[in-house]
Amino acid sequence: MGKEKPDLVYGTLDMLILKSLQHEPRHGLGIADRIQQISRDILRVEQGSLYPALYRLEAQGWIKAEWGVSDNNRKARYYKLTAAGRKQLVAETEHWSRITMGINRVLAST
Amino acid sequence: MGKEKPDLVYGTLDMLILKSLQHEPRHGLGIADRIQQISRDILRVEQGSLYPALYRLEAQGWIKAEWGVSDNNRKARYYKLTAAGRKQLVAETEHWSRITMGINRVLAST
DNA sequence: CTGCTTGCCTAGACTGTCAATATGAGATTT
DNA sequence: AAATCTCATATTGACAGTCTAGGCAAGCAG
């Protein structure tokens, strides 16, 4: 039945992660939960996408990890946004709005 | 200078092609030109993306091809939207607006 | 102890895009 | 008419990001 389309638009995950770290550090699953919750269940982030993305972002110097303990008393890796990460978030957000404007122009064309 | 990010959002090309065939058949390069023009140069479609996409869409039965002659008197393959293609266009458009709504909710979150 | 949950992590496959290149044919220039 | 330019289709190889489908460790509940 319903052939589900992917829940994420390819290439937006990095931006979403950076955004969800904007105000406070979070651990991996916490980030995924937040994205799902804020989007009101429209977006879901699979773990197989999440962790590679986190390494990517860390390797770029946009986030920084630190071991800590979660609310549930499990050890967890907390990520926080770096200064470069904030700049990157702005850049990606601008790129996103630019591209979506282009797409929406095409979709709106008669 | 600006490290250019990709000009397309991954996974939207099919939708854009279908949309640009909505009113009249076009040939391959004509489709690419149209997308670029309507988006006011924000989006660009490379040939290495275009033709595979066209085959994909044709294989799915969403477009149908026919040989013809272009305005410049060159032979060209004209694609036209099928009934199934119109349905698909609606479905993809809805999916797009749904996903972007989710992303925008995250981006708008405080 | 057993089983459930949380949280991290990895391997493999797949898909869509791009850069680069090739080919053919009509148009243009000389 | 020969050479060159442009239009248009087409293919190839590489690559990046996502997903499915697992596995591992440790805390909690029964």
Q: What is the pLDDT along chain B (110 residues), one digit of tens a residue?
A: 334 455 788 999 999 999 999 999 999 999 999 999 999 999 999 999 999 999 999 999 999 999 999 988 899 999 999 999 999 999 999 999 999 999 999 999 98
pLDDT of B110 reads: 87
Count up the domains in chain B and report the number: 1
**CB of A56 within 7 Å of some strand C atom:** no
Structural domain range at position B76: 13-108
Phi, psi at residue B76, to the nearest 5°?
-150, 155
Nearest-angstrom CA–CA distance, A33 and A70? 14
Percent of chain A with pLDDT over 90: 91
pLDDT recorded at residue A9: 83
CATH of the domain at A36: 1.10.10.10
Q: A33 lies in a domain? A: yes
Contact flag A102-B23 (C-beta cutoff 8 Å): no
For an interface test with B, the pick among A15, A24, A60, A107 (most B C-beta atoms closer than 10 Å) comes out as: A107
B92 Cβ contacts chain C strand, under 7 Å? no
Q: Is residue A7 part of a domain?
A: no
A3 within domain boundaries: no
B95 vs B97: CA distance, rounded Å? 6
Q: Does residue B89 contact residue B81 with C-beta atoms inside 8 Å? A: yes
Residue A61: inside a domain, yes or no? yes
pTM above 0.85, yes or no: yes
